[in-house]
Amino acid sequence: MSAPLLAQLTTIFGILTVVVLLAALLTWVERRLLGLWQDRPGPNRVGPFGLLQVVADMIKLFFKEDFVPHFADRPVFILAPTLVMATMLLGFAVVPFAPGIGIVDLNVGLLFVLAMSSLAVYSVVLGAYASNNKYALLGGLRAAAQTVSYEVFMGLSLMGVVMLAGSFNLREIVTAQEGGWFVLPQFLGFVIFFIAGIAESHRLPFDLPEAEHELTAGFHTEYSSMKFGMFFVGEYLSVILISALITTLFLGGWLGPWLPPLLWFCIKTALLVCVFVLLRAALPRPRYDQLMQFGWKVMLPLALANLLVTGGVLLWLQ
């Protein structure tokens, strides 16, 4: 094995391990933050500040019975939870963490991430279908419809950024922001992408595929043990991925004064993740038809208008 290949493998495994560990840690961060926002301490018993809660949960999940219902479509049922983890981790491949830190430098990086994050919905739909359960199926249907609607303007909202940077390469998009973060000229795009990102990662308030109050647990009703854990980690991975993307595309990625670039990237991403948790703590879930209406009748026209205006202004400036 040649030395550069070895170095590359080390980076890949290093980054993937760190990302998965962070996703696991996020379960604790989220519960602590939710607790604080609900005027209670949150999990603080296991280890310092309750940090080992993650380990305790892992042990618990591993020792749960890994149950596959006899009416389920077995191969698909087993495949589904792995898909979400795999696609989300693949999505991280093109994220530029800092200059020199990253796995690959694709010239269609942005499209690749979008593709991967939309592929993740297969995991939900397949899992729901394979469970052979009414609630799961309803959850899966919702996930499919939600993704189709929100995917459309998720991509469109980013085109403004692409036009400004003149590239699909995430690294070049970051360097293009040296003069100023894109969140200012593309504020509308930022808001639209953020909302679409919440819908894409099925987080509250757009977690209609699992909507505990109506669908028991939605698409993962039949899942237990580590299969359930993988759905869970997948969801947190997508939260991190969306936050990292927003950081890269709108908040200047690793750019920032004084502190090392990697730290800047982590700080921005972490703050965005906290906003995701805050959304969960503060907002109620809309009704399903409201979600659809909001997507098609408000967000899509806004995204199109944003695209048009950005294009017009750029042409005029030339």
Task: Write the burial class of residue 157 (CB in 10 Å: 0-12 exposed, 13-18 middle, 19+ buried).
Answer: buried
Told to check if 294 binds other proteins by CB under 8 A, we report: no
Neighbour-count burial for 211-221, b at 16+ CB within 10 Å, e otherwise: beeebbbbbbb
Can you tell me which of 283, 305, 308, 309 binds other proteins, judged by CB under 8 A? 283
Six-digit token pair at 286? Answer: 């809309």
* Cα atoms in the Cβ-side hemisphere of radius 13 Å centred on 289: 0
Told to check if 180 binds other proteins by CB under 8 A, we report: no
Spatial distance between the Cα atoms of 234 and 290, rounded to a whole number of angstroms: 26
Segment near other proteins (CB under 8 A), from 88-96, 179-187, 215-223, 277-285? 277-285
Can you tell me which of 217, 279, 313, 314 binds other proteins, judged by CB under 8 A? 279
Segment near other proteins (CB under 8 A), from 70-78, 176-184, 249-257, 273-281? 273-281
Told to check if 282 binds other proteins by CB under 8 A, we report: yes
Told to check if 270 binds other proteins by CB under 8 A, we report: no
CB of 284 to other proteins, least distance (A): 9
CB of 252 to other proteins, least distance (A): 23
Site for other proteins in 29-48 (CB under 8 A): 36-41, 44
CA dihedral 222, 225, 226, 228 (to 10 degrees): 30
Total residues interacting with other proteins, rule: CB under 8 A: 12
Pick the closer one to other proteins by CB: 8 or 38.
38
Six-digit token pair at 164? Answer: 């400004």
Spatial distance between the Cα atoms of 219 and 199, rounded to a whole number of angstroms: 15
User: Which residues contact other proteins (rule: CB under 8 A)?
Assistant: 36-41, 44, 278-279, 281-283
